[in-house]
Amino acid sequence: MGERSSASRPTSSLRWAVLVVGGGLAIQLAGCGRTSPSALDPHGPGADRVARLWWLLFWISAVVFAVVTVLVLVALLRRRGDRDMLVRRGGGEALIVVGGVIVPAIVLTAVYVVGLRDLRALTVPEGTDLTVEVTGHDWWWEVRYPDQGIISANEIHVPVGRPVKLILTSQDVIHSFWVPQLTVKTDLIPGHTNTTWIQASSPGTYRGQCAEYCGLQHAKMAILVVAEPADAYASWLAAERRPAVAVGDPMAARGRLALERNSCAACHTVSGTAATGTIGPDLTHFGGRRTIGAGALANTRGNLGGWIVNSQTVKPGNKMPPQPLTPEELQALLAYLESLK
């Protein structure tokens, strides 16, 4: 009986080893799906460095993993039932000192030095003359262009190929700015400013996400970086600088009145109107934005109607209460908000 169980032990250990290794590989591969923006698909010099560091760490880990797996398999296959004989054989100290202390010390020191070098390289480049201030709120991003006098939300427009300095802070709790394809994570801390920078090497819309748990709607705190060629960026700037357009359409004009007379105006600003609230996002050019509620919904008329009537069903806990508007007021308001390009 005793003999049989000792003989079956290596086989069952081997089975466990295969299960663990196979499971680990399956998890790795499952994580490779390209359903969300990945730091391994860099579109800017900052993210390039991060991706290169990631691959370096990956290959070092892969080699260490392979060596350790081989050693474990060798140990399992060469194992005998007689434990005393194993102890008597001896000679393992050198392997433990070299493989367990010296090699890890060299590898970890090298990785640390490379990491420090990359961290230094990620400081804002000299001569960066574009600045954007980003303030975190529960759960949206206030975006200001101090030199251009622009206030927006949840979307940062940048010219392709130029570095943009970001000054980050928070109004309430700690958030973290992370656009994986462009840059590293940087925290937004109340009462403190952090600085980082982004640069996009090709035009596109890059999705970012709050990367520090900040409460109920942390997951629905997305930000978009829209990188455009210089002329498209210049015309966006020119449009954003203007106050909200005077309304010609009578429906939209009624919508403007509805916005000014209802509680909307207490929380939102539309420059050039009586709406001057600062609790929620500035809506002066809301019609040109791609999403509603910091990426919670695409900015379509239907989504916007649902959001205004009761955004709590979409993003529970956000600060906007349900709006008791008449159907006519709602339609007018939608027409007005859509006109705010």
Positions touching ligand CUA (CB under 6 A) are 136, 139, 175, 210, 212-214, 218, 221
Distance of closest approach, residue 291 Cβ to ligand CUA, in angstroms: 15
Distance of closest approach, residue 24 Cβ to ligand CUA, in angstroms: 29
> What type of residue is 171?
Q
Let me know if 200 is exposed, middle or buried by CB neighbors in 10 A (0-12, 13-18, 19+).
Answer: buried
Distance of closest approach, residue 222 Cβ to ligand CUA, in angstroms: 10
> What type of residue is 233?
Y
Given the complex with ligand CUA, which of 244 and 294 has the nearer CB atom?
Answer: 294
DSSP string, 174-234: -EEEE-TTT---EEE-BT--EEEEE--SS-EEEEEEE-S--STTGGG-EEEEEEE-HHHHH
Nearest to 325, CA basis, from 255, 272, 270:
255
Given the complex with ligand CUA, which of 141 and 286 has the nearer CB atom?
Answer: 141
Distance of closest approach, residue 135 Cβ to ligand CUA, in angstroms: 11
Nearest to 156, CA basis, from 125, 177, 128, 185:
177
Given the complex with ligand CUA, which of 169 and 199 has the nearer CB atom?
Answer: 169
Cα–Cα dist 190/136, whole Å: 9
Given the complex with ligand CUA, which of 221 and 225 has the nearer CB atom?
Answer: 221
Given the complex with ligand CUA, which of 166 and 214 has the nearer CB atom?
Answer: 214
Distance of closest approach, residue 32 Cβ to ligand CUA, in angstroms: 25
Cα–Cα dist 143/24, whole Å: 41
Given the complex with ligand CUA, which of 139 and 236 has the nearer CB atom?
Answer: 139
What b/e readout covers 153-162, taking b as 16+ CB neighbours within 10 angstroms? bbbbbbbbeb
Residue linked to tokens 């390039």: 48
Distance of closest approach, residue 43 Cβ to ligand CUA, in angstroms: 23
Cβ atoms of 309 and 325 within 8 Å: the answer is yes
- CA–chain centroid gap for 182, Å, is 10
Cα–Cα dist 320/310, whole Å: 8
Distance of closest approach, residue 302 Cβ to ligand CUA, in angstroms: 27
Cα–Cα dist 336/254, whole Å: 8
Given the complex with ligand CUA, which of 211 and 226 has the nearer CB atom?
Answer: 211
Given the complex with ligand CUA, which of 58 and 213 has the nearer CB atom?
Answer: 213
Collapsing DSSP to helix, strand or coil, 62 comes out as helix
Distance of closest approach, residue 294 Cβ to ligand CUA, in angstroms: 9
Distance of closest approach, residue 221 Cβ to ligand CUA, in angstroms: 4
> What type of residue is 202?
S
Given the complex with ligand CUA, which of 136 and 281 has the nearer CB atom?
Answer: 136
